[in-house]
A and B are shown apart, each in its own frame.
Chain A
Amino acid sequence: RKEVEQDPGPFNVPEGATVAFNCTYSNSASQSFFWYRQDCRKEPKLLMSVYSSGNEDGRFTAQLNRASQYISLLIRDSKLSDSATYLCITSGTYKYIFGTGTRLKVLA
């Protein structure tokens, strides 16, 4: 079993839709959690950290469920520019573990 698992997608959604991704992790000692965005042939970029109480940044909401060991990302009012691969990442003392990513395509 992979340490961090994501549905690879693709998720094809119309503009304006709400879409949610989940990510499960196996290491209960994981301390920090992040969502990254990676555009085609570009480097990953930090989208948002995920806090225990959940957090929101504009149209993006991240949630952490430690008991069930998953994190989620909700995107409201999807834009064409949201099309990308979304990577779930956990970390412990120093090591960052990446999921393989979920591809999102927002369609006009």
Chain B
Amino acid sequence: GAGVSQSPSNKVTEKGKDVELRCDPISGHTALYWYRQSLGQGLEFLIYFQGNSAPDKSGLPSDRFSAERTGGSVSTLTIQRTQQEDSAVYLCASSGDRGKGGLHFGNGTRLTVT
């Protein structure tokens, strides 16, 4: 099916390395969100894209985190100089109708920083 696709599904990296996470939203969905979920915790909002622009980046934890979206489609979340506290599941979601149609989530990327 044409759901939200995220890659990689799992990523193990050493502390201090950079990682790039990818999200391919549902075709035609203009809104794209990144969330983070630590084990046993709720979802933490990171960033929201409408088209290629990011009107809300308020959830990015530090300047080590950045995200971009190109062509109104694929988005990448980059974490530089990873730290152990960055270990979490990173979830991408897209929506076709801002705030109304609900979010469709990908399977997530499980990031482990050793």
Contacts and interface: CB of A to CB of B under 8 A. Distances in A.
Interface of A: 31-32, 34, 42-46, 49, 87, 89, 91-96, 98-101
Contacts, number: 51
A95 B107 CA distance: 20
B106 A96 contact: no
Nearest to A44: B105
A50 to B, nearest CB: 11
Q: Which 6 A-B pairs have CB atoms at the shortest separation, nearest pair first?
A: A100-B42, A43-B105, A91-B99, A94-B98, A98-B43, A46-B102
**B: contact size bracket:** 20 to 34
Nearest to B98: A94
Contacts of B108: 43
Contact of A96 (B50, B55, B103, B107): B103
A94 B105 contact: no
A28 to B, nearest CB: 15
Contacts of B100: 31-32, 91
B102 A43 contact: no
Contacts of A42: 107
